[in-house]
Structure 1
Amino acid sequence: MTIPDFQTVMRPVLAHLGDGETHRSRDVKDAMADLFELSEAERAAMLPSGRQRTIDNRVGWALTYLFQAGLVSRPKRGHVLISDEGRAALAAHATRIDMKALEAYPAYLEFRDRTRDKTPTSTPDGGDETAEATPSDLVEQALATNRAAVEGEVLQAALALTPTGFEDLVIRLLERMGYGRAGSVERTSASGDAGVDGIISQDPLGLDRIYVQAKRYAEDRTIDRPRIHEFAGALLGKQGDRGVFITTSRFSSGAIQEAERINARIELIDGRRLAELLVAHEVGVQAQQTVTLYRLDEDFFEGL
């Protein structure tokens, strides 16, 4: 039997998890190789990069899409667990679950929109334009899909942190972004500094300061105008005029208007933007591989 594509293994993967037990991702991949009766050569087949087995890659992407749709969860590193929505999906789709079927889940649609935002001209769901895409287009589409998937995963990992752990994550991100390079970046919530979770000193004497508020809230929670007003009050109490409010959730239109209205400059970073920054600055993620595309050097041949 040939190695199945990642959409073909989606439902079998979910069915394998249907016992409700937490499974190692490694075991799920081996189980799919057994289920599809792959030969030893097929099991050993590697991607062109030579970095990963093909079947592992296909099952890994299937798990990624199922996770993005909310059909599976990742309770701990390297482990997966079917969700209630996943069990319902098994009942609703008796033969096949693919990206078309995942469109019924808002979480997947949000993930797909993030992918499209990063490549406006792409068709990540394999539309007719894929056949006309250049190798560069295909690489861009793959990178966009990977980036959107990792951003979703890193945000879920941030949500699983303790409040102080999340504050430490924010401080680590700000440091990686270059803030406080000539001064310091420190977490202050442990010292009971009301209304402020961190302080960025842009100079060695701490004369140029940016105050940080970091709140780990559920993704569907909305931060409203009063919270921004409170943060502005904390800045005023410290005679500060610049702050950044970072959260895993989202800001209401009233909160955004309040940040624009007050005299102090307050930058608002919601969960989606936070995830983008974490990946862009490689905080909590690891680079897996690089891709090099080649083109003919016409100048070289004309010079011979």
Structure 2
Amino acid sequence: MAAYKNIVLEKGMYGMPGKSFTQVLEEMDNSENYRGTPLEGMDAYQRQLMRFGIRVSGPGSSTVESFFGSSASAALFPEYVARAVRQGMESATKAADIAATVTTIDGLDYRTISTGTGHDSKSLKPVAEGAELPQTAIRTSKGLVRLHKRGRMLVTSYEALRFQKLDLFTVTLRQIGAYICGAQMQDAVDALINGDGAKPGVGFMEGAPSYSDFIALWGKLAPYTLNTVLAGTDAMQKLLNIGEFKDAQAGMNFQGTGRLCTPLGAKLIHVPTMEAGKILAMDRTCALELVQAGDVCTEYDKLIDRQLERAAISVTAGFARIYEDAAQGLSYTV
């Protein structure tokens, strides 16, 4: 079961259309072959790290220099960077958490589908014998989904990093992932407020952050379920001061777990960059589609060749509205 040691690693494995580096490795060294062995539970990339004795976390973490002992082990470095960034994205509030579905594409042009959105089209009225059933029209959207590249430029030098522990370097890369998540959340808010290019933005009712306004917002969103609320810092402060937030159960949940809740049971998500004076309420199961062009992208050739002076790490993604009235807004005077 040491066949994984014979894989020839090279930078060209990052350029395979529609496949990640790990997927290419899995095709050459399938994890199914390791069932019942001490290597069960590892993927092909993790086995390659073991091959070269590289520990990316925990006690005895290796240094950045350990990746560059040979050209083969250097080919593993871009995937390490991508995975660390992805960990940061997964630990933060992800845009995928508010998306009904995630669509991954290989290009930069994408048209979503458009369906009838009136309340009458979703009601199940009795149909007389012989009469036609109500129709739901599904069409290709007229406009392309706007995709945005979000990321950071890694500006450093190999000399500055070579002796640094990988677990410390991972902290920095995770923060890049958290930044990308924050930027994507703002993209989602922008698609809801200003529209996605094919569908208009949400409608806003005037009011103030109060319990009665939440009830009105809940009613306006029907027949959809109000399960997610997006708010900026000012709105969050006002929402958390509503009397219904101060009951013992809500307080213990917030103080004990750090998870926010609302009186109507919706998930409350803080979007620091969101415009003050606006609150968004939505049904996350049918309001937004997250469209992403590939996965975390790194300039793998620069990373492999230790040209770290300006190496880009980025994610390209955008949002399309699915059902227009599955999201509603509340605006108030700041």
**TM-score normalized by the length of structure 1:** 0.30
Higher strand share: 2
Higher helix share: 1
